[in-house]
C-alpha cells in the first residue's frame, strides 16, 4: 500500500538534517509499508531500523546493512525468517506478533554471531512443543529469548536434545502449513461473500458497518484488509470535515486597526528578549533538530517576525532598529535562534562621539582645533543636552 520512497526517508530524518547517507537510526513504523526496499542502498550506516506496525510480508533487501544492530519488524505479516545472514552486527531481532510458522527458519540465523536477543512472542511457532528448547539449541549465541534470560543449564539440555526436538518441530510446522493453506481458501471465500454483500448496499456507512461487524480470522490477508479500510476511512474523513467536531483554524492578528504590530507567540516557543544600550537581543528556543529551511526571519524597523513551520512568533520593540545591520545566527549545539538588532539611536550616538572636541587655550579662551574638512559641521562648540554629559 505504501512504498519506501526517498521523500519518506528524508521526512523521517529531520534529526539528521534530512541527510540519509549518514543516517544511523530510522523509524518507519505505522506507515502501511508492504515491502522493504531501497534502504540498503540509501542508508548503509544504519544501526537501528524500526519497521513495526506495517504490512511487510517478507524480510528482504537488507544484506548490505553491515552495521545494523537492532531490527524491529514486530506486528507485520512475516511468515518466515530469511535473508538476514548478511547482517553481521545484528544484536537484537524483534519479530513479535507476526505469523512465523516455519520455526526451522531460525536456522538461517546461525551465522549471525552477534545476535543476543530474539523475540518471537505472538507467532504460531511459539505454540509448538519444545519451541524454546529448539531455538536455544539452534542458536547458542543467544542470551535471551522472548525477554527471558537463557541460563547455562537450559542451554546444555537444549543442545543435548536438539535432534529429538527438531523432529517434533518439523511435524508441527507441516501441520501448521496445511492449516494455513486451508485458511487462505476460507478467507478468500469470506472476502468474496462480504464483497457481494456490500455491493448490494448503497449507503457508504452501511458498507463500512457491514465490514467491521463481519467475522474474520487472524491472518495476513485480514490484517491487510483492515489497514486498507482504515486508510479509506481516513481519506473519507479528510475529504468531508465535520463542522461540529472540527474547529476552524484561527488566523492570528498581527496588527491592530491603527497599524501597530502585536506581540504574537503562535508557536508557543520559550524566548529571552534583552534590551541593551545599543541593541536588542532575542534568543528563541526553536527545536534542536528542526531543519533551518523551515525557519523564516523578517526584521522590520519596529518589530521582528519569525515563522517556524508555518507558526508565527512576533515581538515589538520601543526603539527603531537597523534591519541591514542586524545579525541572525543559530547555535550548532542547542539549535536556538539568536537575533541581534542594532538600534538606530545607538548608531547616531556613536557617530557623534567619533568627532574629537576642540582644545581651548588657557589665556585667550579661543578654540585651538585643526582645520576640519569641507562639508563637515563643526560640533566642538555645541553644548551637550543634560542627559548626555559624556559628549562634552
Q: Does the residue 368 lie in any domain?
A: no
Q: Does the residue 230 lie in any domain?
A: no
Nearest to 156 by CA among 174, 178, 175, 133: 133
For 300-359, the pLDDT digits (tens) are 888 999 998 888 899 998 888 888 888 999 888 888 999 998 888 644 555 545 554 545
162 plus 292 within the same structural domain: no
Q: Does the residue 74 lie in any domain?
A: yes
Low-confidence ranges of the chain (pLDDT < 50): 346-347, 352, 356, 358, 361-375, 377, 379, 382, 388-392
Q: Domain containing 107: what range? A: 6-175
Q: Does the residue 208 lie in any domain?
A: no
Strands (E), 21-110: 25-27, 48-50, 70-72, 92-94
Three-state secondary structure call for residue 275: strand
The 10 Å Cβ neighbour count of residue 44 is 15
| Cβ burial, residue 90 (10 Å; 0-12/13-18/19+) | buried
11 plus 110 within the same structural domain: yes
- Predicted pLDDT of residue 43: 92
Q: Does the residue 141 lie in any domain?
A: yes
168 plus 24 within the same structural domain: yes
Distance between CA 87 and CA 71 in Å, rounded?
Answer: 10
159 plus 299 within the same structural domain: no
- Predicted pLDDT of residue 347: 45
269 plus 169 within the same structural domain: no
Distance between CA 10 and CA 265 in Å, rounded?
Answer: 29
The 10 Å Cβ neighbour count of residue 225 is 16
168 plus 317 within the same structural domain: no
> String of b and e for 155-191 (b: at least 16 CB within 10 Å)?
beebeeebeebbeebeebbeebeeebeebeeebeebb
Beta-bridge partners for 325: none
> Starting at the edge strand that comes first in sequence, how are the strands of the sheet with 311-316 ordered?
264-265, 311-316, 303-308, 295-299
Q: How far apart are the first and last CA of the chain?
A: 79
Instruction: Output the domain CATH number for residue 310.
Output: 2.60.40.790
Instruction: Output the domain CATH number for residue 96.
Output: 3.80.10.10
159 plus 268 within the same structural domain: no
Q: Are 252 and 26 in contact (CB under 8 A)?
A: no
- Predicted pLDDT of residue 348: 58
157 plus 268 within the same structural domain: no
- Predicted pLDDT of residue 356: 47
Distance between CA 76 and CA 74 in Å, rounded?
Answer: 6
Three-state secondary structure call for residue 181: helix
129 plus 272 within the same structural domain: no
| Cβ burial, residue 254 (10 Å; 0-12/13-18/19+) | middle
Choose one of 125, 149, 175: the last residue of a domain.
175
Choose one of 132, 149, 175: the last residue of a domain.
175
Tell me, rounded to whole angstroms, the distance of Cα 238 from its chain centroid. 23
- Predicted pLDDT of residue 249: 64
Number of structural domains found in the chain = 2
Maximum Cα–Cα distance across the chain: 122
Q: Does the residue 184 lie in any domain?
A: no
Tell me, rounded to whole angstroms, the distance of Cα 353 from its chain centroid. 53
- Predicted pLDDT of residue 245: 53
36 plus 167 within the same structural domain: yes
- Predicted pLDDT of residue 230: 87
Q: Are 61 and 36 in contact (CB under 8 A)?
A: yes
Which residue do the cell numbers 486498507 mark?
228
Choose one of 155, 175, 195: the last residue of a domain.
175
Joined together, the cell numbers standing for residue 150 give: 537463557
Q: Does the residue 212 lie in any domain?
A: no
Q: Does the residue 188 lie in any domain?
A: no
146 plus 278 within the same structural domain: no
Distance between CA 290 and CA 267 in Å, rounded?
Answer: 13
Count CA atoms closer than 13 A to 144's CA, side-chain side: 11
pTM, two decimals, is 0.62
Which residue do the cell numbers 527438531 mark?
166
Amino acid at each position: 500500500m505504501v512504498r519506501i520512497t526517498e521523500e519518506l526517508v528524508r521526512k523521517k530524518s529531520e534529526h539528521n538534517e534530512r541527510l540519509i547517507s549518514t543516517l544511523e537510526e530510522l523509524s518507519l513504523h505505522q506507515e502501511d509499508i508492504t515491502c522493504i526496499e531501497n534502504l540498503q542502498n540509501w542508508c548503509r550506516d544504519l544501526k537501528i531500523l524500526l519497521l513495526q506496525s506495517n504490512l511487510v510480508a517478507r524480510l528482504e533487501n537488507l544484506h548490505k546493512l553491515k552495521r545494523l544492530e537492532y531490527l524491529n519488524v514486530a506486528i507485520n505479516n512475516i511468515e518466515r525468517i530469511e535473508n538476514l545472514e548478511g547482517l553481521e552486527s545484528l544484536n537484537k531481532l524483534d519479530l513479535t506478533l507476526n505469523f512465523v510458522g516455519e520455526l526451522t527458519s531460525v536456522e538461517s540465523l546461525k551465522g549471525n554471531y552477534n545476535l543476543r536477543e530474539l523475540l518471537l512472542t505472538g507467532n504460531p511457532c511459539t505454540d509448538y512443543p519444545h519451541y524454546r528448547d529448539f531455538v536455544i539449541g539452534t542458536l547458542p549465541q543467544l542470551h535471551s529469548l522472548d525477554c527471558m534470560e537463557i541460563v547455562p543449564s537450559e542451554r546444555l539440555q537444549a543442545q543435548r536434545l536438539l535432534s529429538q526436538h527438531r523432529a517434533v518441530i518439523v511435524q508441527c510446522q507441516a501441520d501448521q502449513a496445511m492449516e494455513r493453506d486451508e485458511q487462505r481458501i476460507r478467507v478468500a471465500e469470506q472476502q468474496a461473500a462480504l464483497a457481494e454483500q456490500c455491493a448490494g448496499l448503497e449507503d457508504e456507512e452501511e458498507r463500512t458497518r457491514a465490514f467491521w461487524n463481519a467475522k474474520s480470522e487472524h491472518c495476513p490477508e485480514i490484517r491487510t484488509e483492515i489497514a486498507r479500510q482504515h486508510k479509506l476511512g481516513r481519506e473519507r474523513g479528510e475529504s468531508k470535515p465535520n463542522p461540529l467536531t472540527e474547529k476552524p483554524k484561527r488566523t492570528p492578528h498581527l496588527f491592530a486597526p491603527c497599524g501597530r504590530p502585536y506581540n504574537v507567540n503562535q508557536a508557543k516557543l520559550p524566548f529571552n528578549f534583552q534590551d541593551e544600550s545599543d541593541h536588542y537581543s532575542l534568543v528563541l528556543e526553536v527545536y534542536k533538530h528542526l531543519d533551518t529551511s523551515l525557519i523564516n526571519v523578517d526584521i522590520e524597523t519596529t518589530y521582528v517576525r519569525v515563522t517556524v513551520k508555518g507558526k508565527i512568533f512576533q515581538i515589538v520593540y520601543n526603539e527603531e532598529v537597523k534591519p541591514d545591520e542586524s545579525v541572525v545566527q543559530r547555535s550548532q549545539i542547542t539549535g536556538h535562534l539568536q537575533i541581534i538588532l542594532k538600534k538606530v539611536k545607538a548608531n547616531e550616538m556613536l557617530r557623534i562621539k567619533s568627532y574629537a572636541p576642540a582644545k581651548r587655550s588657557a589665556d585667550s579662551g579661543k578654540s585651538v582645533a585643526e582645520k576640519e574638512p569641507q562639508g563637515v559641521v563643526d560640533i566642538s562648540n555645541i553644548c551637550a543636552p543634560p542627559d548626555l554629559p559624556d559628549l562634552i
